[in-house]
Homo-oligomer: A and B are copies of this chain.
């Protein structure tokens, strides 16, 4: 069946994201160095993030709140107010980061947008993602941006209902097997995986899911031009 709409993931598919979070985490661990090792701080942060995920969802603001909560807990309340302000500043810096496009992205979008209706389908805060899209200069290639609270099959089902197309008419392109590829395939949609070198542990999946491949994988986004 003909593809009617192509969905692009944004973070680490169109532009650099995860390395910015890693940098913020590194700065956070530096603040806590008097209380706990970097490795333990990372572990404690991840635990807090997972505890808060259902409540906060994805995005920088929930990340900031989890940083603060983790810092207070692992310092046993000894962290100073000033250090907490420094943690808030790390988060504000993250929200204001320059956008660095991945290789070949603009060329691919220029080409593909002439032939298909494109949308961005991404998790994270709406305002933050809209700001990144604006800064990226890529907004003109997309019909609109769809912020998803999560990327489970249910969420894609809702998206398809909203777009008023069948799963077979939808192609999703992204760097996360767990969020961009498997849920779409499971509904009968199409998907192209473009791996990225840095993946948040929460987005990692065990390799056994790979056994029955029904999606395509390319090395860089430019390679999709040969497939479409």
Interface residues of A (CB under 8 A from B): 55-59, 61-62, 64-65, 68-69, 72, 75, 77-82, 84-85, 88, 91-92, 95-96, 125-128, 130, 143-144, 147-150, 158, 161-162
Contact = CB atoms under 8 A, between A and B. Distances in A.
A58 to B, nearest CB: 8
A88 to B, nearest CB: 6
Contacts of A61: 56, 59, 61-62, 65, 125
B144 A127 contact: no
Given A61-B62, A149-B126, A149-B130, A68 B55 contact: no
A22 to B, nearest CB: 21
Contacts of A56: 61, 95, 127
Nearest to A85: B72
A143 B126 contact: no
A79 B143 CA distance: 47
B81 A79 contact: yes
Nearest to A63: B61
Contacts of A62: 61
Contacts of A85: 69, 72
Contact of A147 (B59, B81, B126, B143): B126
21 contacts: A56-B61, A58-B127, A61-B65, A65-B88, A65-B91, A68-B84, A69-B85, A72-B82, A72-B85, A77-B81, A78-B81, A84-B84, A125-B126, A126-B126, A126-B147, A126-B148, A127-B149, A130-B149, A143-B162, A144-B158, A147-B147
A20 to B, nearest CB: 15
B84 A72 contact: yes
Nearest to A61: B61
Nearest to A139: B158
Contacts of A161: 144
